[in-house]
Amino acid sequence: MKALKLSQSPDNAIGSLLKYLFEQNKISAAFVLCKNNSRDYFYGLITDKNLLEKITPTTPIMPSSAGKMLSKLTMLEPLTSPIAVVLRPCEMRAFYELIKLEQARPDNILFISFTCKGVISIKESKDGFEEKIEAYQKNPATELTLPGLRQCCQICENFVPENADIILPLIEKNDLNNTTFLIKTEKAEDFVQGFEAETVEEELNDTEISKIKEKRARKKAEVFANITPDKLGMKGLIDIFGRCLNCHACGRACPICYCNLCYFDSADSEVGPKAYEAETETKGAYRLPANTIFYHIGRMIHISLSCIGCGMCTDVCPVSIPVGTIFTRVAESAQEVFKYIPGRNIEEKIPILTFKINEFEEIGEE
């Protein structure tokens, strides 16, 4: 496919492209990761092209899921003028799922994404973060033992943004001085027309990608070997989720968990005398906070089909429960039932929002 080559670092190259799009009035805003200082990263909607020097789209940090943030912008009404969005592959898949859930609209968005090496946990964005980023950038993508790299990223096999309009092949090259934009769609071609860069023909490097995929799949199998049904059961669940505070931060951070009035926050799930008396009668004690495991399994039921395995939940957990890893494991088996891959195709319906007449006949008794 057509590609544009620039001898600049990825961040600067994206900056130049956005600047060009602003100058030509092709976009009215850019939605991109910004940096205030080494402890303060955030997603911003930029309309002033002079502020583009603050952007840092490839810094390995995810302060919040861009998919969720974009849905906040587009939930009530679609965007009226085109914007460019730079986001990671999992964030884009999350955005697609939110579109299917009618929480976002895809109109007027130019998606720019890149093959993703993973992100470093938010908890690491304190003093000394710069050195971590440097180590991260030097390391090849097959290296999974970087300090602070999210576990969900280490086991992620969907690091190629299949649906983006413009793709930057970053991790196969690991080149900080040259950047290539792969122009994937016609829409993108219209946008970049006239942009000064060397035009070449280039494809994604499939051999390198499958090498990284293989490495991550091996890691995944290793991690999942400890999350099998025989090791779980109620006892295993208490081992994992026992220290849960019931703060619901995982749900707040999750891009797919969108309900403003969550059942688990409602008065229905408050503990009344009926609930604790029934338990104290049989056990002589009642454990608080109540309903922690119920919350997690309940959330799995609600979101597992759309879970894109970004790992935001693990990142925000104040008591370091590997929420994301467990969810990814459950999500994989749930998605397997319906042969569904979240975020792959915008036309494909979420399995529980559709049905086939002749299926699962073993479940309902005739």
Partner 1 sequence: MQTEPTIIGFLCNWCSYAAADLAGNSKLEVPGNLTTIRVMCSSRVDPVFILNAYFQGADGVLVAGCHPGDCHYQTGNYYARRRLALLIKILQTFDIEPKRLRLSWISASEGQRFSEITQEFAKFIKEAGPNPLKKKPFFE
Interaction site with partner 1 (CB under 8 A): 229-230, 232-238, 263, 275, 278-279, 282-287, 291, 293-294, 297-298, 300-302, 304-305, 329-330, 333-334, 337-338, 351-352, 355-357, 359-360, 363-366
Place of tokens 């008591």: 319
- Smallest separation, CB 265 to partner 1 (Å): 13
Burial of 173 (0-12, 13-18, 19+ CB in 10 A): middle
- Smallest separation, CB 317 to partner 1 (Å): 19
Handedness of CA 237, 241, 243, 246 (dihedral sign): negative
Q: Of the two residues 106 and 298, which places its CB atom closer to partner 1 in the complex?
A: 298
- Smallest separation, CB 306 to partner 1 (Å): 12
Closest CA to 259 of 66, 63, 62, 68: 68
Torsion-angle region of residue 86: left (phi > 0), alpha (psi -120 to 50) or beta? beta
Q: Of the two residues 229 and 273, which places its CB atom closer to partner 1 in the complex?
A: 229
Tokens of 31: 């939605």
- Smallest separation, CB 283 to partner 1 (Å): 5
Burial of 222 (0-12, 13-18, 19+ CB in 10 A): exposed
Please name the amino acid found at residue 264. F
Distance CA 251, CA 130 (A): 29
Q: Of the two residues 195 and 258, which places its CB atom closer to partner 1 in the complex?
A: 258
H or E segment to which residue 18 belongs: helix 10-23
Q: Of the two residues 333 and 345, which places its CB atom closer to partner 1 in the complex?
A: 333
Q: Of the two residues 217 and 278, which places its CB atom closer to partner 1 in the complex?
A: 278
Q: Of the two residues 9 and 291, which places its CB atom closer to partner 1 in the complex?
A: 291
Q: Of the two residues 128 and 284, which places its CB atom closer to partner 1 in the complex?
A: 284
- Smallest separation, CB 248 to partner 1 (Å): 15
Torsion-angle region of residue 239: left (phi > 0), alpha (psi -120 to 50) or beta? alpha
- Smallest separation, CB 7 to partner 1 (Å): 49
Beta strand pairing status for 179-183 and 166-168? antiparallel
- Smallest separation, CB 220 to partner 1 (Å): 16
